[in-house]
A and B are shown apart, each in its own frame.
Chain A
């Protein structure tokens, strides 16, 4: 098991190298240059060339790539922003933390709402405790989070004026963005948990547990739930990964200093170092989340643990 985890962590290295290479390549294929983008249309070609030379953009693609990777690995140096001339790490890290804070609390809330409702709906199938949340979640799952965000803004900031509409100064600022992030995946989680639980309840081993004389609560919690959790854990892990990459819209809408909006802003200026550093952080995060999902699997299901342990070599 430990070896498996180490192996997975070691696999991060080629992942990151691959990601940097692809991003670098894409940025260098596109026609504009940082000088053009930052100095604007009125700048003379000489000034643009001068700027590109200064920041090091005009070096050959492969040289640039190897230097970047070398500095990153040996000095933990992610370079200097073309646009602000600030250290990239100092710019990216605080914004990354904002995104992580929002996504983690959003996913946690989505799990806390969705999973218990899903279990309840499955256990009380065909009752009102099943039909009402199921129909609601059907509609909510179909609403994109930016529409939900706008509705929240309209109601709580514009009409009721009880919540602030932008910034992240107090805890009250977090309420609407987190709700907007959490509610659509909560509905997904509910539907997922319900179907997975329904399937688990119909399994033979659940009937065996009943035949042993186990009361319904034991049957559900001890026998059905643990087996039903596997796909739910995957779903939650996936939604965390997607949120980290995809919360740009929510960040823009609530004017939050997150990493998604930073990357989008700097793409306009072709600020390579910032874009790449941001993408690297996101991809590390995604890989780590997926690794965590796999580790949780092993704790839930002994068969998977056995597979990991056997696959050492």
Chain B
């Protein structure tokens, strides 16, 4: 067990996060487990509102101070439980050992500071001993690493396009060579050609720096391109997890995963319409009593409405569905 732990850069155990306001309690993340090996990439997939970003923010302990609360669970980073440390310790972790790339490059850069200053800030925060010239050189190196001319460091964010801004943000996240990069839908706000560029660049930099990555996305195509492992998140729960092979080519699947795959256009099939998942994500202030997916599931039975399913694991593949609870040969879900 101890050996296994050192292989993992990130090990989230039983994490439960809520947003509490005077009126209601939003159950954003409900007792999830996630593991990322060193140098590996985990794709966290799910619809808007599934709790993906909340999970990411909890890792950095950046949940909104007043409303966001971690109720249960442990987040082990490199063998240390981040939940036990004070804010000062987290300053040394953030941006240095764990970095984050945010979803919207348009709003994630400070409009009144030059991009060079913003990258330099990240470097100088974690490298006290560097001189001004050394920091300057590092800023230029980092910018050219993400494919931006170093002389543009004195430009302001409004002088960059969306794709270039996202490159700046990635440069900012990578300038201290983190061990774990959390990428929260890094390409959602970009158009398709730029998406491909940015993804290719992220893949290449990951190889070069040897870092682990948590890739948050709702795009299964991105998962297939970049990830080693996948976790499918729905209404704050991990409903299915496994290697990319398990999820993309495996035999058994959670009905939600099947629904996700049916929502992507397929070149091979002759179907003229996509098959969307009916209904909406359940209200997180009032989650269903049984399986969280039961109101939208076409295989829903009485037990699904009454009782929350347990996670069933076969090798690397785990599922949380009554269909696969006892008998292994469910088979009903896929195709």
Q: Do the beta carbons of A211 and B99 come within 8 Å of each other?
A: yes
Please, how many residues of chain A have a CB less than 8 angstroms from a CB on the other chain? Answer: 25
**A212 touching B94, Cβ below 8 Å:** yes
Q: Report if B169 contacts A (CB, 8 A).
A: yes
Is B1 close to A, CB under 8 A?
no
Contact of B112 with A204 in the complex, beta carbons under 8 Å: no
* C-alpha gap A213/B127 in the complex (Å): 12
B62, B111, B122, B125: the one within 8 Å of A207 (CB): B62
Say how far A223's CB is from chain B's closest CB, in angstroms: 5
A210 within 8 A of B: yes
Given the known interface contacts A213-B91, A214-B91, A214-B125, the answer about A208 and B96 at a Cβ–Cβ threshold of 8 Å is: no
Assess A212 versus B66: contact at CB under 8 Å? Given A205-B111, A226-B112.
no
Report if A208-B156 is in contact (Cβ < 8 Å); known contacts: A213-B93, A213-B95, A215-B91: no
Q: Is the CB of B62 within 8 A of A208?
A: no
Min CB distance, A275 to chain B, in Å?
A: 44
Give the contacts of A39-61 with B (CB-CB under 8 A). none
**A227 interface residue, CB < 8 Å from B?**
yes
Closest to A302 in B: B156
State in angstroms the CA–CA spacing of A213 and B97 once bound together. 10
Contact of B122 (CB < 8 Å), options: A203, A212, A223, A303: A212
| Contact status of A205 and B126, CB under 8 A, knowing A211-B99, A213-B96, A303-B158 | no
> Which of A126, A214, A227 lies in contact with B112, CB distance below 8 A?
A227
Closest residue on chain A to residue B110 by CB atoms: A205
Number of interface residues of B (CB under 8 A): 33
> Which chain A residues numbered 165 to 207 have a C-beta less than 8 Å away from chain B?
203-205, 207
Say whether A125 faces chain B, with CB atoms less than 8 Å apart.
yes
For the complex, give the distance between the alpha carbons of A6 and B158 in Å. Answer: 26
Q: Does B104 have its Cβ within 8 Å of any Cβ on chain A? A: yes
Residue of A nearest to B182 (CB): A211
Q: Which residues of B contact A208 (CB under 8 A)?
A: 102, 108-110, 169, 172
Find B172's partner among A125, A212, A215, A222 (CB 8 Å cutoff). Answer: A212
Name the A residues within 8 Å of B95 (CB-CB): 211-214
Q: How far is the CA of A212 from the CA of B110 in the complex (A)?
A: 13
Return chain B residues, CB-CB under 8 Å to A300.
112
B91 neighbours in A (Cβ, 8 Å): 213-215
Let me know if A301 and B112 touch, CB within 8 A. Answer: yes
Q: Out of B66, B126, B159, which one reaches A213, CB within 8 Å? A: B126
Q: How far is the CA of A215 from the CA of B169 in the complex (A)?
A: 19
The answer to whether the Cβ of A306 comes within 8 Å of any Cβ in the partner chain is yes
Number of A-B residue pairs, CB cutoff 8 Å, is: 80
Chain B residues within 8 Å of A211, by CB: 60, 62, 94-95, 99-100, 102, 173
CA A125 to CA B64, docked complex, whole Å: 12
Question: From residue 59 to 108 of chain B, which have CB atoms closer than 8 A to chain A?
Answer: 60, 62, 66, 87, 90-96, 99-100, 102, 104, 107-108
Bound-state CA distance A199–B58 (Å) is 22
- Which B residues from 217 to 260 make CB contacts under 8 A with A? none
Question: Quick one: CB contact mask for A278-300 with B, threshold 8 Å, 1 for yes?
Answer: 00000000000000000000001
Contacts of A108 in B (CB 8 A): none
Residues of B within 8 A of A212 (CB): 94-95, 99, 121-122, 125, 172
- B81 CB → nearest A CB, Å: 19
Tell me if A129 is interfacial: C-beta within 8 Å of chain B: no
How many angstroms between the C-alpha atoms of A126 and B60 in the bound complex?
24
Judge whether A209 is part of the interface by a CB distance below 8 angstroms.
Answer: yes
- B residues less than 8 Å from A216 (CB atoms): 87
Contact A214 B121 (CB under 8 A): yes
Write the chain A residue with the least CB distance to B122: A212
Of chain B, the residue at the smallest CB distance from A227 is B112
Give chain B residues whose Cβ lies under 8 Å from the Cβ of A207: 62, 102, 108
**Assembled-state Cα–Cα distance A207/B159 (Å):** 21
Instruction: Tell whether, in the assembled complex, residue B66 and residue A205 are in contact, meaning their CB atoms are under 8 Å apart.
Output: no
Give chain B nearest CB distance to A224 CB in angstroms: 9
- Nearest CB in chain A: distance from B321 CB, A: 35
Given the interface pairs A302-B112, A306-B158, the reply to whether A210 lies near B104 with Cβ below 8 Å is no
| Chain B residues positioned under 8 Å from A306 (CB to CB) | 156, 158-159
Asked if B158 and A213 sit within 8 Å, CB to CB, the answer is: no
Cβ of A59 to closest chain B Cβ, rounded Å = 56
Name the B residues within 8 Å of A227 (CB-CB): 110-112
- On whether the beta carbons of B107 and A125 are closer than 8 Å, the reply is no
A contact residues around B158 at 8 Å (CB): 302-303, 306
State in angstroms the CA–CA spacing of A216 and B169 once bound together.
Answer: 20
Give which listed residue, A125, A213, A215, A223, contacts B110 with CB less than 8 A: A223
What is the minimal beta-carbon distance from B268 to any residue of chain A, in angstroms? 40
* Chain A residues with CB under 8 A of B90: 213
Give the distance to chain A from B95, nearest Cβ to Cβ, in Å: 4
List residues of B whose CB falls within 8 A of some A CB. 60, 62, 66, 87, 90-96, 99-100, 102, 104, 107-114, 121-122, 125-126, 156, 158-159, 169, 172-173
11 CB-based A-B contacts, threshold 8 Å? A126-B66, A207-B102, A211-B102, A212-B94, A213-B91, A218-B121, A227-B110, A227-B111, A302-B114, A302-B158, A303-B158
6 nearest A-B pairs in the assembled complex, by CB-CB distance? A213-B95, A212-B95, A213-B94, A204-B107, A205-B110, A212-B122
Other A-B contacts than A204-B108, A212-B95, A302-B156, 18 sampled, CB-CB below 8 A, are A125-B66, A204-B104, A205-B111, A208-B172, A210-B60, A211-B62, A211-B100, A211-B102, A211-B173, A212-B94, A212-B121, A212-B172, A213-B90, A223-B113, A227-B111, A302-B114, A306-B156, A306-B158
